[in-house]
Amino acid sequence: MFSDASDDSAQSHPSSDVIRGSIGYVAPEYGMGVKVSMQGDVYSYGILLLEMFTRKRPTDDMFLNGLSLHYYAKMALPNQVMGIVDPLVLLEDDNQISNTVDKNNTRTKLEECLVSAITLAVTCSAEVPSERMTMSDVVSELLHTKKHYHDYSLNISD
């Protein structure tokens, strides 16, 4: 019923072999004993991006029977992305856009931007580390997407 002192001390000291991190954000390879790496951080970042754009946590009750946040987003690419994106992301101030053509063009550009962001997040959260991007490539892609969408939105407001 009572454990001896040596068992208590072994259980109270954390081991470096224990997986650390939040459930749903920890790279799958860590469960197989692979050492912590930058690719694991890329995985966590991808999951975080997916959570931000979909407003769904990787531990959401809907993710059962092999479905995960990663696969949920991957299945939506490229044509169903607007169906998984949090509606709050899609709010826009219609008063700033003067005509229907500009509104439609802005919506199309926003959808392209979201497809790019979700694609990036899905690539980052790939199960196999070698299929993930490097963080420097992630930053480059994010900057490219930002510039592309920002430049377009500046042209609309002129």
pLDDT, mean of each 10-residue run, the chain (158 residues): 43 49 82 84 96 94 92 96 90 60 78 94 96 95 86 56
Give the pLDDT score at 98.
61
Give the pLDDT score at 41.
93
Q: Which domains does the chain carry?
A: 21-157 (1.10.510.10)
Give the pLDDT score at 119.
97
The whole-angstrom distance between residue 137's C-alpha and the CA centroid of its chain comes to: 15
Give the pLDDT score at 20.
64
Closest CA to 60 of 84, 37, 78: 84
Closest CA to 43 of 58, 56, 61, 53: 58
Report whether 117 contacts 109 (CB < 8 A): no
Give the pLDDT score at 34.
80
Give the pLDDT score at 89.
81
- pTM for this structure? 0.76
The total number of residues shown for the chain amounts to: 158
**In Å, what is the CA distance from 119 to each residue of 2, 40, 48, 100, 116?**
53, 18, 13, 28, 5
Q: How far apart are CA 70 and CA 68, in angstroms?
A: 5
Give the pLDDT score at 123.
97
Handedness of CA 117, 123, 127, 130 (dihedral sign): negative
